[in-house]
Structure formats: structure tokens, C-alpha cells
Structure 1
């Protein structure tokens, strides 16, 4: 159980570091690690010390706090209260799950379900299937990758789109429909977001880049007034909100909210394509099943070419680190081409510690990087691009990748090849696409499977140390001078088996030197 007092110890006694047996004492002050020294046997194991209040960790393992480099916190907070339909293997199975879920709701209330994956279904989603439900309530079902919404006629009527032929909306239309139908009173929603942040802290998370499709700066400044969340949050900015951010003089890394809120402006989010499950990820090769000359056979191009170059230059010139969504191999090539033409590394200079973890000359980020040409692996390092990846997607999407990217999956979710080429990886969950639990992502990067099947493309497996590094902002070892964002673990991840790693017990989490979570 989490303690209710966020006290700030000045000394963590008797900690171990991953893979080591020696005990250390770690001194903390003013939100930072001030000293790491060998533990002196026989010294007192609790109470106070010369440094002030201390906490005896009894040989537990200490690492830097974990960081989710790609999440959608509002959608994750809401998902925790939605009907889970992820287990359905067809459209008709989904309808049965919805019918069972509807029985627990008041008559007429919107039913929102989440998690369907229709890429491998033997039948297609259609509004008439949901219209057959007996109570006639509005139904909104959201795909696992967030790029598709499936609605019945009652829900379409609420949007003024009762004449839609199928009830299946994709990409921007899906996002707009979800936003309009999922309205929750702001105080309630902010409470749900805080609950989700507290749950993340219980898993050792100390920081998140929030890519919610919203006015994140405004939303997080409002939340900070009612209480600082137990995480560092970097609030991503979308193009429609960029002018307002620039008018305020914001840039990536600018502090937000009242002093001590640990909020800051995040990167600028841009899109080049869609997703794998909706077959809108932009690829060099056509998706199976499309007719010759079909313009959708290769996926969907969004912001590319000169438009993307201009957007990157504008962002970098104003101190914003660009974060470019790119999933297909064509999208990743076009994103890298645009970064090269825009010269972002020289334009940004030292800006953007959140987007690039403090690296001078970092050009920006590519989010997802799921399918990459072999000749493009080395370009990420050459151009100074961080790749924000989500290892749970590799195991969740292995079957749909095999079907829709045949003959190319050796370079899909290719984390080992990216690292070997010098790329910097940062792990995220893409919550709610996957749960906001870094240990699941770490285990999936190491195992490349989460069921009884053998590892999918085992040549792309990472070591635990590599996965931990990608989950802790580039280094998991604790050093003097670090922010005191720390996780205290009840097991050593470097020596844990797969089952333990997936559910690794977290004894406590420190944010800026104060407990954001601690087990009694």
C-alpha cells in the first residue's frame, strides 16, 4: 500500500545497484543526488543521520526513475474506465462483448469500448452489427491503435452523421468523433488523470511525455493549480496550438505552472502517416489485397515533403524539438529526408532537454519507427534523431505485421539493428495503445514475445541492460548530480526471469527527492 506522507529522506541507506552485491548509501538534497558512497557496516539503519532523515532500503535495488517517452494521458485515464474489447477475434465477437457490457450501464448511456484490432478479422466492422443491439443505446468503439472508431447509428446521429454508410471512421475523423462523444466534466477528467499518474508512480515512473491530442499546455497548467501530479510531465504541442505557444515565448523545456510543479513544454508533434492496423502506415510496398492503381494501397501520406521541411524549420528556429510520427518505411524515409533538409540540429542548438534528454545538437525525434529500410538505420544517428519506440507494439502487432508487411518484418520493430547502427532509443507505452507500465515494455523488448510462442524475430531482442537504458533516459545507474528521480526495486532486473521482470515489484518511487510512492 502506498503511504500517504510524501516525506523527503536525506539519505537512502543500504541500497544495491543492478548486477552488484555491494551496499551503498545515497545522499539527497534539494531534489538531487549529492553523494553515492559505500555503506559502512554497523551504522544505524534508520531514523536520522548527519544528513537528516534517512530511509533504510535493506539491500533493495536502486535505479534512476523510469520514463514513458510517449503516452496519451487523458485517453489512458479514460480507458481505465472503458469496456475492454481487446480479446474479441471478430466483429461479431465484439458485438457480443458490447452486449454483455451494456447490461451494466443505465439505459441510454453511451457505451465506450476500447481495444479492437480488425486487421486480422474474418468479418468487417459495420454499424448495422451494432444497430442490432436490443437497447438502441449509442455505442462508440475505439481501436487499439486509436486510428479507427466504430459507431452505431445512434452514436452517428449524435455527431450529425446519421447517414454515414458504414459507421467506421478512420484517422482524423475517428479522433474528432472520439473527442466529441467522450466528453467528461473537466474536474472529473483531471481527477482521472491524476489517478493514472499515481498508478504510473507505483510502477517506478517519474516522467512522461504527454502526446495527448489536445491543448496540453493549457490543460496541464490548469491541473497544476489543483495539485502537482506525481510525475514530471512534458506537454507536447500540436501545430494548431503552436502560434499561441510562440506568442508566450514557450519552447521545448520551458517550465510550466507554479514553482515546483515539475511541468514543462514538450516537443512539437507532427504526423507523416497513419498506422499499421488501419493499413494507413505509409510504405514503399503495397498492402496485400488492394487493386492495381488503388491510391490507398501504400498507406496514407499526411505532412511530408516541403510542407514537413518548413514545419521542422519553423519549430527548430523557435526552440521546439520536433517529434514526427512515422510508422511505415516510406514515412520514416521521408521524415529522415526532411530532418536532413531542415538542418534541425544546428537550428535547435541546446534547446529541448525533454525532447532530446539534454543532448546539444539533437535534431529531434521520430515516434514509432516501426518499419525502416535497412539503408536508413544509420541515418538516425547521423542526423541526431532519437527514436521513440514502444516494445509492446512489437508483440501485439506481430501477426498483423506478418500479414500486411510480408517479407519485410525482419526490419520491423528492429530495435537491435537500430542500436547497432548507433541510434538512441527511448521507450514509451503509447498508452492507451498499451498499458502505461514500463516493465511490460522492457520484458517485451527482451523476450520479443508475451505468450507461449517463440520470440518473434529473436535477432532483434535487446538485453535487459539495453532495455533499462532506453527506459531511463539513457542511463539507469545512479550518479551524484542526478535529479533525485529514483525507483527502489524489490528484485534486480538484470537477474530476474521473464515473469518477474514483467511484474517487477517496486518498493518505492522518489520524485525530486520526495516519495511519490512507497510500500509500507
Structure 2
């Protein structure tokens, strides 16, 4: 059988004048030539007239917790809450009065700026015997009631709050990927494809090497997925002999990615590991400068084991002290890799990313979510917070992502925040850290800022030029089609 061919007629290409015909064959871009109007595409299986729509590289979300994103829709939505009282009202309305039932799980609270404190007693008062687990928007903190602490064996709750390691252990108890239907995963993947997404890097702490190929076999095939392995599954991955870049499924959609290690906490939970203390922490709160959640010596051992097995490293570092420690470890081991988040970086450390051959995987939408929290808890340092332009000027390759469900799995949000540092009509926050649209697009498309002959036909078709659109127009960019290896995963024309 001849390879399937598609001709995209009358396409606009960012930064190129005129209209073009883009020919695809066997999953690759076979030719790009001046448009031939409506001349028939002889020998072509499909011909589509784009009427001037823009063809650009398909987009990647380089940091996703996919199962968490899928099940977010099943959880009590706390994202609009502005206080502990707001959350308690939502819980009270969701808990059947006077009855015990299944665990109620909520998601999305951000307590850093609340005027009142979350307490276990207050949550008990509205939930009774129903176990309640409320997950913070940054996934680093839980607010739990007494019934949940007993049912799930949660230890060390500080007035009802559970942070970092105990939080992650509890999240694993709440998650059962086998209990989520393949249809739910397929809907989430298809929704991402409708926004021009062709691939994700999945940092879910799960048996991704087995789960994702199985999902593809059951029709979850709208995305390429690079899967990670966490420390507790590293030995298994090494035993299987898989290396970063290895293909894990028959269709070539799933590849082995990096080791993921979390070495500090988060800004909203005030556990990101910093050189300076957090102002105004509650009395008795430990770790005034944040937490080093994986000791540096342990990190070094894990990264060395991954390096020796041919597995790359993607290390979570948010605070400036965490970033320095991770940079030091990469340097000591002679490894290249990725630092995830890099939210607060010392001025002298920006150049070290480039010198060590490291990429920065960053989430620009977090800067919009956290700007007020950063102003309060990182005073005098926000000029080097979420510092995309500083990283870019230093020659550091950027990779944009969402950290979904922390922010929506929609690369256009990241693009908009990267180029404008603004949302909801607010004044730009540290506009000197904006990056040009061409930089943001490349950081969302695995380094591709345009389409070239010979490349895999992972493409997005948009109604407007992303290189000239304003930040707000980027945020709502209409996507007319997405192609994965020359196969339409979404089309609306």
C-alpha cells in the first residue's frame, strides 16, 4: 500500500510571506511550495484548503501529572475559594448531613494569602464522620479531617495540614489508575489535541512504563507521551534495561523519559527551599527557609544510578537554594538534564544552567497564579522569580509546560503568560522577564519555531499568527486542526 498523503492547501506560515502548500507523506513533511490556488492535488489521498490559516509545529506540554488532570473533574472544585471559610462552606454543601460515606476529595485551594487559617477542628465541624481530603492547587499540601486521618493512616498533620512527603504518600493512596476508565483518559487526551497539543511529558508517580502502552492499546492515541520514573520505581526501570528515548509501545507514541526527583517544596506551601527565610510564618512552623525534601547525598546517588543506566534526570527545584544544590549535583556528576520549575534562581546561577548543558522546564502560568504570593513571601527577590528572560539571555533552552492540574493543560496559557506576564487585565508583573513570541513558541514545540521539510508531521493549524498575537489573543487562540505524524487528531474545518 502506498504511504498515505495529505496536501494542506493555501497555508500561512509564521515569518514567511505569501501562502504555501504543505505536502505530507508517510507521516512527514514532504514538501513546502508556493500555493497553487485550487489546482487538484494529483496522487494525493486527502486535500484540505486552509484558506490562509497558519500551520505551525505541534505543541508539547513539558510537565503534566496526567492522571491527576483526568481525575480533577471528579473532585470538589476549590479553585475559586479565597479563605478557609469559603472552603468550609463548599465542603458543608458537598457532605451529606449526618451520614458517613466515601472519602470526599477536593482540589485547588491556595491558602498562602488567606485571612483565616485552616484547622482540623473547623473541617471536622462541617464534615462529621465523612473522610475529607482537600488537595492544594500546588499538590504539595493537604487539609484533612480526623476521619480521613484515621481512614488513610495520615500521620504528622499540623492542625489538619499535611505537607510534602506525607502529602505525596496520601495522594498515592487516593489514586488508583486502574479505577479510571480508558475512556476518561481518551477524552482528556482528545481535549488536549483540540488545543494543538501533540505530546506531553508525564510526571505522574505511577507505573508509567506499563500503564501508558496499555492506554494506547485501548485507543488513547491522540498524544505522544514521554514517561518519567520516580525514585521508588527507578530500580525496576534499570532492571528492565530501558533507557531515555527508548520506544515503549508498538505504535511509537510512548517513549522512556527521565528520572524525576523532588528536592524541595513549593511557594504556596512555603516549603520551597530558599536561602532566605519566609516572612510571617505561623508560630512553631519548622523549616523557616523551606524544606530540602530529598537530601543532596541521596539525590546524588539516585542521579548517578540513572546516569549509569542511560536514564536522564529531571529534577524539581523551586527555591533558589534548591536550584543551587541541584546545579551543584549535575556538575559533580557530569550530567546534563533538566531542572523542573526553576522558579527562584540566584543571579550567579543563571549562566550555570547553560554552562552545564541543562534545560529549564518552566511554567509561565504559575507566575500569574503566584505573583501576589511571591511578592509577600519572596520580598526583594521577585526580579529573579519565574525569570524566563534571564534564563533565555543566559542561553538556557526553555521548555514550557503547565504542571497540570496546577494550571490547565493548555499550552496557549503558557505562551500568553510567557510573552505578556499578564492575565485578567492586570499590569504586567516584572515585564522585563517577558520573552519574544518566537522564543515561547519554540519552547512549546521542542525547539521548533516553524515547519521544515523532512520533519515529522506533528502540526497545529491556527486561525491567527502566534508570532504577532497579543497575550490575551494567545490565551484564547482558536485551533482548527492538529496532526500527529500526519494523522488528524482534531479538525474543525
In the superposition, the TM-score normalised over structure 2's length comes to 0.94
| Residue 207 of structure 1: aligned partner | 199
Is 25-34 or 384-393 further displaced after alignment? 25-34
- Paired with 1:181 and 1:10, the residues of 2 have a C-alpha distance of 45
| Residue 275 of structure 2: aligned partner | 284
Report the Cα offset of residue 135 of structure 1: 5.9
The answer on 1:321 being equivalent to 2:312 is: yes
Structure 2 counterpart SS, 1:515: strand
Q: For residues 141 and 309 of structure 1, do their structure 2 counterparts lie closer, same or farther at Cα, with a shift above 3 Å needed?
A: same
Give the counterpart of 2:414 among 423, 435, 441.
441
- Paired with 1:25 and 1:163, the residues of 2 have a C-alpha distance of 62
Where in structure 2 are the equivalents of 1:257-276 lying within 5 Å? 257=249, 259-276=250-267
Contact 2:480/2:491 (<8 A) preserved: yes
Report the Cα offset of residue 364 of structure 1: 0.4
Q: For residues 20 and 311 of structure 1, do their structure 2 counterparts lie closer, same or farther at Cα, with a shift above 3 Å needed?
A: same
- Paired with 1:134 and 1:381, the residues of 2 have a C-alpha distance of 51
- Paired with 1:442 and 1:252, the residues of 2 have a C-alpha distance of 27
- Paired with 1:373 and 1:134, the residues of 2 have a C-alpha distance of 44
Report the Cα offset of residue 506 of structure 1: 0.4
Contact 1:291/1:297 (<8 A) preserved: no
RMSD: 2.2
- Paired with 2:393 and 2:150, the residues of 1 have a C-alpha distance of 52
| Residue 90 of structure 2: aligned partner | 97
- Paired with 1:248 and 1:181, the residues of 2 have a C-alpha distance of 28
| Residue 37 of structure 1: aligned partner | 33
Report the Cα offset of residue 50 of structure 1: 2.6
Structure 1 counterpart SS, 2:405: coil
The answer on 1:171 being equivalent to 2:164 is: yes
Runs of 5+ consecutive residues of structure 2 not aligned to the other structure: none
Structure 1 counterpart SS, 2:180: helix
Is 420-429 or 211-220 further displaced after alignment? 211-220
Report the Cα offset of residue 410 of structure 1: 0.5
| Residue 472 of structure 2: aligned partner | 499
Report the Cα offset of residue 182 of structure 1: 4.3
The answer on 1:422 being equivalent to 2:395 is: yes
Number of residue pairs matched by the alignment = 490
Structure 1 counterpart SS, 2:467: helix
Give the counterpart of 1:300 among 256, 274, 291.
291
Contact 2:56/2:461 (<8 A) preserved: yes
| Residue 216 of structure 1: aligned partner | 208
Where in structure 2 are the equivalents of 1:371-520 lying within 5 Å? 371-520=344-493
- Paired with 1:468 and 1:161, the residues of 2 have a C-alpha distance of 43
Report the Cα offset of residue 286 of structure 1: 0.9
Contact 2:100/2:129 (<8 A) preserved: no
Deviation string, structure 1 residues 238-276 (Cα, Å, up to 9, x no partner): 12111111122101111112x214111111111221111
Report the Cα offset of residue 55 of structure 1: 1.7
In the superposition, the TM-score normalised over structure 1's length comes to 0.90
Report the Cα offset of residue 169 of structure 1: 0.9
- Paired with 1:162 and 1:459, the residues of 2 have a C-alpha distance of 44
Is 122-131 or 112-121 further displaced after alignment? 122-131
After TM superposition, the runs of 4+ consecutive aligned structure 1 residues lying more than 6 A away are 291-294
Q: For residues 133 and 445 of structure 1, do their structure 2 counterparts lie closer, same or farther at Cα, with a shift above 3 Å needed?
A: same
Contact 1:9/1:55 (<8 A) preserved: no
- Paired with 2:276 and 2:439, the residues of 1 have a C-alpha distance of 31
Report the Cα offset of residue 289 of structure 1: 2.7
Contact 1:19/1:495 (<8 A) preserved: no
